[in-house]
Structure 1
Amino acid sequence: MISLNDYLYSGDTVLKILKKYTRDLKISAEENQNEVDRIHAMFLKRTSDLLEHNDFLTAQSQKIREFYKYMAKEYASLSFTFKGRIKSLIRAETKFNGYIVEYIYDYYTEHGAYPPLEELKKKLDGFRDLIAYRIVISMPKCHISDDQEREKEEIRNLYAIANVMKDFLEERGFRAEPAFGVKESNSPLLKDAVRPYYRDYICHAKRDGYRSLHITFFDESAKCYMEMQLRTKEMDDIAEIGPANHLGYEKKQESERARRDRIPEGENIYFDEAYERVRKLQELELAKVDVNMFSAVNNSLMNDGCGLYRGRLILPYEHLSRFQNDLID
């Protein structure tokens, strides 16, 4: 079994690593008739295409900026940030394989059998967040001092923003993709017209505390998918520096080991290989990695100039609330 780790010590660029890994995985998939590895190779190809041909991101981010300007006018009392990123190579690889592990484990736990291959393949075709934009809002204490009231107002505003964002972006060349009932919202704050498009991790918070609103769009001009995420500052803190932070692996490793114990080794090759790839990435010592434009002292202190671990930033826009930032160009 080949894994991404095999390519991280040659001094190559991220793009060259991706191309080599994709090529070798595709060859291996054909030799072993491994349908999941074929899909995996296609996923990696989409990732490398995005890194190689990303001129469209300038136009795309400018359209997103129009919504930023709208929010600055309509929600002047809020502080908020817009951030865009291309998912890092390590994060994308971890998520793809982690999803295989999670899906097979959940299916086995519920049915006492492994999922049919065609069903697994169908599930793996839904990765559409290689490009993601995040809107984080906060109500400053100078406007509402009571913590509980401030949180209520932030969540009310978050859903209000969600209610208008779909139509706003669709008028500018994006097409909202239905969520097909995944994490469907039961919040009365979300309008019925947009409810089918959002995955509501506020109503359906994850076990690690992660909360957010997600919606996927297809960019008709760039012919690619992107995800929009809406969070309050508290939700963002939990996701980025709290227990839901994907960089803090200890709890996730415990969870993965529990899944490994439940699924006997050798019974399902797709689970075995995906689990092993995730394990290797979780145990990666970044200080020993040799990738062009990347260096690390340890797994926390690093200088990532290539999107290997941190992802590539597309845009940062900040609005500091009324009386702090009155000029929006």
Structure 2
Amino acid sequence: MITLNDYLYSGDTVLKILQKYTRDLRKEAKLTHNEIDLMHVNFLIQITELLEHNDFLTAQSQKIREFYKYMAHEYPFLAFTFKGRIKSLIRAEEKFNGYIVEYIYDYYTKHGTYPPVSELKNKLSCFRDFIAYRIVLCMPKCHLKPGEDQETASIRYLYEIANVLPGFLEERGFTVESAYGVKKSTSPLLNEDVKTYYRDYICGTSGEGYQSLHITVYDNSSRSFMEVQLRTQKMDDTAEIGPANHLGYEKKQQDERARRDAIPEGECVYFDEAYERGMRLLQLELADLDVNMFSAVDNSLINDGCGLFRGRLILPYEHLSRFQNDVID
């Protein structure tokens, strides 16, 4: 079985790794008539094309910048950042294999048998976040009203901005996608006419405390999907440096092992291979990797200059409240 790990110690660039992994995986999939591995190959090709032909990202990010300018004009008192990234190769590979493991496990638990290949292939065609933008905002304490809580005020503005975003993007050539009822918002701060578009992880907090609003849109000019995430600073801290980040790694390992115990080994090659690929990635010691433009002291201290682990940045915009340092009488 071929895995991404086999290509991470050669000193190659990320693009070279993708090309070799794709070539060898295609060759093996044809020999074994493995339809899921052929889908895996197409998945890797999509990532390669994003990294090789990214001129459209310049035009796309300029449209996103229009919303940044809108916020700076309408909310000069807020501090906020806009960031964009192409999903990292390791995270994308983890997610693809994780989808296989999760879907087969859930199907087996419910039906006592394995899903048809056609259903599994349909499940694997739903990736929408290769490109993602994140808006993080905060209400500076110096602008709070007496007795007002900072996070409560930030959340109020977060939902207010979320109400405007879908229509703003539609006017600039994007098509907003339905969330199909996944994590549908129950917040009274989100307008009814946009609730169908958002997956609201603020109302239904995860066990690790992860909170965010997610919306998926289709860029008609580049014919690509992208995801926009909206968070307060506190939510972003929890996701990036708080318990949602730290515990997620250990919890994922526990969940994956529990699924392995439930599925008899050798009965479903698609589960076995996806599980093995996923677990090998979870066990990577990043400091041992030899990938051009990437280095790490350990799994916490990482300098990723190629989008291998943390993703490749498309844009950084930062707006600090222009009144943040005003003297308040």
Matching of residues 183-222 of structure 1 within 5 Å:
183-222=183-222
Aligned twin of 1:5: 5
Could you tell me the TM-score, scaled by structure 2's length?
A: 0.93
| Amino acid in structure 1 at the alignment position of 2:254 | E
Aligned twin of 2:181: 181
CA distance in 1: counterparts of 2:15 and 2:147, whole angstroms = 46
Structure 2 contact 12–291 (Cα < 8 Å) conserved:
yes
Matching of residues 32-181 of structure 1 within 5 Å:
32-144=32-144, 149-181=149-181
Please report how far the alpha carbon of residue 324 of structure 1 lies from its aligned counterpart in structure 2 after TM superposition.
Answer: 3.4
Please report how far the alpha carbon of residue 247 of structure 1 lies from its aligned counterpart in structure 2 after TM superposition.
Answer: 9.1
CA distance in 2: counterparts of 1:317 and 1:140, whole angstroms = 18
Q: Give the secondary-structure state (helix, strand or coil) at the position aligned to 1:172.
A: coil
Aligned twin of 1:243: 243
Structure 1 residues 207 and 20 mapped into 2: Cα distance closer, same or farther (>3 Å)? same
CA distance in 2: counterparts of 1:317 and 1:270, whole angstroms = 42
Aligned twin of 2:24: 24
Please report how far the alpha carbon of residue 76 of structure 1 lies from its aligned counterpart in structure 2 after TM superposition.
Answer: 2.1
Which stretch shifts more, 261-270 or 241-250?
A: 241-250
Aligned twin of 1:278: 278
Spell out, residue by residue over 1:55-74, the C-alpha distance to the aligned partner (whole angstroms, 9 max, x if none).
11111111111101111121
Q: Which runs of 5+ in 1 are unaligned?
A: none
Which stretch shifts more, 28-37 or 40-49?
A: 28-37
Please report how far the alpha carbon of residue 106 of structure 1 lies from its aligned counterpart in structure 2 after TM superposition.
Answer: 2.6
Task: Please tell me the root mean square deviation across aligned C-alpha atoms, in Å.
Answer: 2.0
| Amino acid in structure 2 at the alignment position of 1:291 | V
Spell out, residue by residue over 1:119-166, the C-alpha distance to the aligned partner (whole angstroms, 9 max, x if none).
221111010111100001111222227897322222221111111101
Structure 2 contact 208–248 (Cα < 8 Å) conserved:
no
Q: Give the secondary-structure state (helix, strand or coil) at the position aligned to 1:244.
A: helix
Please report how far the alpha carbon of residue 203 of structure 1 lies from its aligned counterpart in structure 2 after TM superposition.
Answer: 2.2
Matched, 1:302 2:305: no
Structure 1 contact 319–325 (Cα < 8 Å) conserved:
no
Spell out, residue by residue over 1:96-125, the C-alpha distance to the aligned partner (whole angstroms, 9 max, x if none).
111222222233333443333222211110
CA distance in 2: counterparts of 1:233 and 1:87, whole angstroms = 21
CA distance in 1: counterparts of 2:129 and 2:248, whole angstroms = 21
CA distance in 2: counterparts of 1:97 and 1:325, whole angstroms = 48
| Amino acid in structure 1 at the alignment position of 2:71 | M
CA distance in 2: counterparts of 1:246 and 1:56, whole angstroms = 35
Q: Give the secondary-structure state (helix, strand or coil) at the position aligned to 1:308.
A: coil
Spell out, residue by residue over 1:13-33, the C-alpha distance to the aligned partner (whole angstroms, 9 max, x if none).
100110111121122222222
CA distance in 2: counterparts of 1:126 and 1:150, whole angstroms = 37
| Amino acid in structure 2 at the alignment position of 1:151 | E
CA distance in 2: counterparts of 1:325 and 1:57, whole angstroms = 35
CA distance in 1: counterparts of 2:323 and 2:26, whole angstroms = 56
Aligned twin of 1:311: 311
CA distance in 2: counterparts of 1:37 and 1:303, whole angstroms = 31
Alignment length (residue pairs): 326
Spell out, residue by residue over 1:237-283, the C-alpha distance to the aligned partner (whole angstroms, 9 max, x if none).
11111232279622221221122122222222222111111111111
Structure 1 residues 145 and 256 mapped into 2: Cα distance closer, same or farther (>3 Å)? farther
Matched, 1:223 2:199: no
Could you tell me the TM-score, scaled by structure 1's length?
A: 0.93
Q: Give the secondary-structure state (helix, strand or coil) at the position aligned to 2:39.
A: helix
| Amino acid in structure 1 at the alignment position of 2:163 | N
Structure 2 contact 209–244 (Cα < 8 Å) conserved:
yes
Structure 1 contact 13–291 (Cα < 8 Å) conserved:
yes
Please report how far the alpha carbon of residue 310 of structure 1 lies from its aligned counterpart in structure 2 after TM superposition.
Answer: 1.4
Identity of aligned residues (%): 72
| Amino acid in structure 1 at the alignment position of 2:120 | L
CA distance in 2: counterparts of 1:34 and 1:185, whole angstroms = 39
Which stretch shifts more, 198-207 or 239-248?
A: 239-248
CA distance in 1: counterparts of 2:109 and 2:201, whole angstroms = 23
Structure 2 contact 208–247 (Cα < 8 Å) conserved:
no
